Amino acid sequence: MFERSAKHQSTVPNHVAIIMDGNGRWAAKRMLPRVFGHREGVKVFKRIVRQCADLQVRILTVYAFSTENQGRPPDEVSFLMDLMEKTFRTEIDELCREGVRVCLLGDRQGFSKRVKELWESAEEQTRGGNRLTLNVAFNYGGRREIVDAARRLARRVHNGELDADCLSEELFANNLYTSNLADPDLVIRTGGEFRMSNFLLWQAAYAEWYFTDVLWPDFSDEHLLEAFAEYERRERRFGRISEDRG
């Protein structure tokens, strides 16, 4: 992080993360049940994955279901589980052909054996994809991820495999679900809220944030380009002073 100089961005972000919010309100505006918004949201998700790959984004992380979303009515939770499963069962071959590597970020313990196997085989099948890495944050919580990493490292210290004084930021980051992936450069949140909602708490420490009122099912290719244009105008200083004043 610190080798990078503070300057205006001239390229598309290397790692884009998206909080895909606003599905329920999109449906409510049309007097439809919330699940219609989720279904529409999947169509947008598929399009944005292709657009990111075409624009040469290298990593795309999407927030699809949070650990807190488990608190929604059981019908909605199981609908979202089924939708995720169906989407990846039908998309995986094409994603593989397109050179997309798929990874699941999240707590898998709550998943059925069938869903766990689906993810393992999707990750295995797409392992060679080198055009775009697609991280799907499902049953994901930033705090849970940090606690999981702490637990894993504490166990290694306890077993005498690791000296506590050797625990660095880098080693800690390598024990997160994202392990050795680069941090997000740009985090986009649709749906008009200005909050993190427990997303990538560690990794987004120096990300640029972009908030839009557009509801996720209305998010178009042009909206993504607008977010990238805004990103290009930002000056990332990483705590330093501006090069213009330096």
**Residues marked as catalytic:** 21, 69
Q: Are 196 and 140 a contacting pair, CB within 8 Å?
A: no
φ/ψ region of 112 (left if φ > 0, alpha if ψ in -120 to 50, else beta) reads: beta
Name residue 225's amino acid: L
Q: Which of 197, 209, 223, 234 binds ligand IPE (CB under 6 A)?
A: 197
Closest approach of Mg ion to the CB of residue 55, in Å: 26
23 binds, among ligand IPE, Mg ion, none (CB under 5 to 8 A by kind): ligand IPE
| Cβ atoms of 96 and 129 closer than 8 Å | yes
- φ and ψ at residue 17, rounded to 5 degrees: -120, 145
Determine the interface stretch with ligand IPE among 19-27, 82-90, 107-115, 145-153 (rule: CB under 6 A). Answer: 19-27
For the window 2-31, what string marks contact with Mg ion as x by the rule CB under 5 A? -------------------x----------
> Which 155-194 residues touch ligand IPE, going by CB under 6 A?
191, 193
Closest approach of ligand IPE to the CB of residue 17, in Å: 11
Among 195, 220, 237, 238, binds ligand IPE (CB under 6 A): 195
Nearest approach, Cβ of residue 178 and ligand IPE (Å): 17
Instruction: Look at residue 237 and give the partner it binds from ligand IPE, Mg ion, none, a contact being a CB closer than 5 to 8 Å depending on partner kind.
Output: none
Any contact of residue 25 with ligand IPE (CB under 6 A)? yes
DSSP symbols for 165-215: GG--HHHHHHTSTTTTSPPPSEEEE-SS--S-TTSSTTGGGG-EEEE--S-
Among residues 12, 64, 92, 200, which is the contact residue for ligand IPE, using CB under 6 A? 64
Specify the amino acid at residue 115. V
Query: With contact defined as beta carbons under 8 Å apart, do 222 and 6 qualify?
Result: no
20 contact choice in ligand IPE, Mg ion, none (CB below 5 to 8 Å, kind-dependent):
ligand IPE
Residue 190 partner contact from Mg ion, ligand IPE, none using kind-dependent CB cut-offs of 5 to 8 Å: none
Taking CB under 6 A as the rule, which mask of x and - marks residues 65-104 in contact with ligand IPE? xx--x----------x------------------------
Question: Would residue 130 be called left, alpha or beta, if left means φ above 0 and alpha means ψ between -120 and 50 degrees?
Answer: alpha
Tokens matching residue 131: 């055009």
Q: Which residue, 45, 179, 18, 21, is CA-closest to 100?
A: 45
